[in-house]
Amino acid sequence: MAITLNFKAEERKTVGTGSARAARLAGNIPAVIYAKDKTLKHISVNARELSLAINRGKFFSKVIEFDINGTKVKTIPQDVQIHPVKDTPIHADFIKVDEKSEFKVTVPVEFVNIDKAPGLKRGGILNTVRRTVEVWCTIAHIPEKLIADLTGLQIGDNVKYSKLEGTSQVHPVITGRDFTIATIAGRLSEEEELAREQAGSEALQKAAAEKAAADAAATAAAKEGKTPSAKDGKK
């Protein structure tokens, strides 16, 4: 069941840049509520309260219920615009929802049992392909998060959508394939890195010895007044 956050909001009688600027100067964030791809209401919401809700995380998988001058409207967040310098929200879009209709929601993925993945213990790296997944669901079945269990995964293994926990009452926006959530990419363990370094060192020593032998053969040949052949250099 999705978490519902409640906010008081005021309807903006005028729209445009001037109205949005006035809302921000009053300590509010201008926002728009859409219904079936059409603008329903232009509102303003307390900036501090909305910012706190966004910063707590998982904002886009929560139901936002607005009390607009006594009228309650249930919505889900669609988009939040962030100030490029201050890193604070400056505008938000919401979609009105009802109890029966399905809608698209963005749900975060949480990785668990990281310490039980042998591939990571061997030096592998968790390569996260998707930190969130877009799914279709009703308001009663919005998952707070989807769980990716890494137990037993080796280097080269991956986590597909079908392996996520919490998807029983939702279906993904991406269809036609079992898409990847994360992979465990290979990286040499300390023992393997040491073995490779030793092998490289031995190869360098062998090359140096062969060069020294070739130089010695060339010097000896010069003293005898003849040019060494390739065969001589390999002796």
Condensed to tens digits (0 to 9), the pLDDT of residues 183-226 reads: 999 865 555 556 656 766 666 777 777 777 776 776 776 666 65
Residues 233, 218 contacting (CB under 8 angstroms): yes
What is the per-residue pLDDT across 129-155, written as a single tens digit (0 to 9) for each?
Answer: 999 999 999 988 999 899 999 999 999
| Tens-digit pLDDT profile for residues 51-75 | 999 999 889 889 999 999 899 999 9
CA angle 136, 181, 115 (to 5 degrees): 125
**Residue 235 confidence (pLDDT):** 46
Closest-CA residue to 94 (of 32, 41, 49):
32
- pLDDT confidence of residue 3: 80
For 177-208, give the DSSP string: S--EEEEEE----HHHHHHHHHHHHHHHHHHH
E strand intervals along the chain? 4-11, 28-35, 38-46, 63-68, 71-82, 89-96, 103-112, 125-128, 132-137, 146-149, 158-160, 171-172, 180-185
Domains identified in the chain and CATH numbers:
4-97 (2.40.240.10), 104-185 (2.170.120.20), 190-233 (no CATH)
The pLDDT of 174-186, averaged and rounded, is 94
Query: In the chain, pLDDT over 70 holds for what percent of residues?
Result: 82
Asked if 31 and 94 touch (Cβ cutoff 8 Å), the reply is yes
Nearest to 121 by CA among 54, 183, 190, 64: 190
Q: What is the mean pLDDT of the chain?
A: 86
32 vs 44: CA distance, rounded Å: 8
pLDDT tier at 233, thresholds 50, 70, 90: very low
- Is residue 168 within 8 A of residue 189, CB to CB? The reply is no
